[in-house]
Amino acid sequence: MGSETQLRILVIGAHPDDCDFKAGGVATKYAALGHVVRFVSVTNGDAGHQRLGGVELAEMRRAEAEAAGAVIGIEYQVLDHHDGQLEPSLFNRQTIIRLIRSFAPDLILTHRPNDYHPDHRYTSTLVQDASYLVTVPNLCEDTPALRESPVIAYLSDDFQRPYPFTPDVAVDIDDAIERKLDMLHCHTSQVYDWLAWHDGVLQQVPAGEAERREWLRGRMIEPFDPAIADRYRDLLVRWYGPQQGAAVRYCEAFELCEYGQQPSAAELRRLFPFFD
């Protein structure tokens, strides 16, 4: 685990770009404070495109992820599981156990187990299934077991069943939104191609770099992020106080998982060192 002063933050998403969308802001803030952050994509993204696929797309998405990580100076690891084919198998569970043990995080951020995409759901399941087993020495003996489970928290989503996302922490990312946008801008094959094609707006994507970035802001940041801050305004006020909490425009929110360590109020503030 990290020291009292330096945290180790592991964000585990299903696809290259998942971590950026849901935790790019807090990752920027952690890195700026000198903490160690690693993004992990459990699949290689080799199916997420309307024209490309296979090895060519996987290599492209790995390069995009590495470029996104370089924006804020963090490692972005892409595992070699096929996109759209992830299963909560014993082999994959052992992969996640070894991954967590080798990084020894203080905090893991990942998807919730109820989600539209099976890769998201099974990424969450794999992390949850590993949450206790990372402390069992007789499993995956080639990677030393941790003495205690990390704290796990869920990334935000809008799904309502079986229960809606209920955050415990909301972080002001107003000072990190431009870096988050820079990271998303690196995922060219996704934000300017696949997602735009899938949403039927590919013809709207500008050709120029600067124009694309502004289009990305108007398409994927402004329609959603201010609404997220308004949705969790009470939580922002609770963490930041009435004046700052009321002024936050962009935030990222996280819900504690009942598996893993259960942090005290003081420990939660240590893990999220952004509040006065």
pLDDT at 1 over 80: no
pLDDT at 3 over 80: no
Rounded Cα distance between 96 and 160, Å, is: 27
Average pLDDT on 155-165 reads 94
pLDDT at 223: 86
Q: Residue 146: which CATH number?
A: 3.40.50.10320
Structure tokens given for 273: 């060192």
Is 204 within the bounds of a domain? no
* Boundaries of domain holding 140: 8-173+252-271
pTM score: 0.96
Average pLDDT on 135-147 reads 97
Is 27 within the bounds of a domain? yes
Number of domains in the chain: 1
User: Binning pLDDT at 50, 70 and 90, where does residue 224 land?
Assistant: confident
Average pLDDT on 206-213 reads 95
Is 1 within the bounds of a domain? no
Is 178 within the bounds of a domain? no
* Segment 171-183, tens digit of pLDDT: 999 999 999 999 9
For tokens 């000072």, what's the residue?
A: 175
* Segment 50-109, tens digit of pLDDT: 999 999 999 999 999 999 999 999 999 999 999 999 999 999 999 999 999 999 999 999
Is 223 within the bounds of a domain? no
Average pLDDT on 190-213 reads 96
Is 194 within the bounds of a domain? no
Kindly state the percentage of the chain with pLDDT values over 90.
95
* Segment 105-117, tens digit of pLDDT: 999 999 999 999 9
For the chain, give the DSSP string.
Answer: ---SS--EEEEEESSTTHHHHHHHHHHHHHHHTT-EEEEEEEE--TT--SS--HHHHHHHHHHHHHHHHHHHT-EEEEEEEPTT-----HHHHHHHHHHHHHH--SEEEE--S--SSHHHHHHHHHHHHHHHHTT-TTSSTTSPPPSSPPEEEEEP----SS-----SEEEE-TTTHHHHHHHHHH-HHIIIIIHHHHTT-GGG--SSHHHHHHHHIIIIITTTHHHHHHHTHHHHHHHH-HHHHHH---EEEEEEEEEE----HHHHHHHSTT--
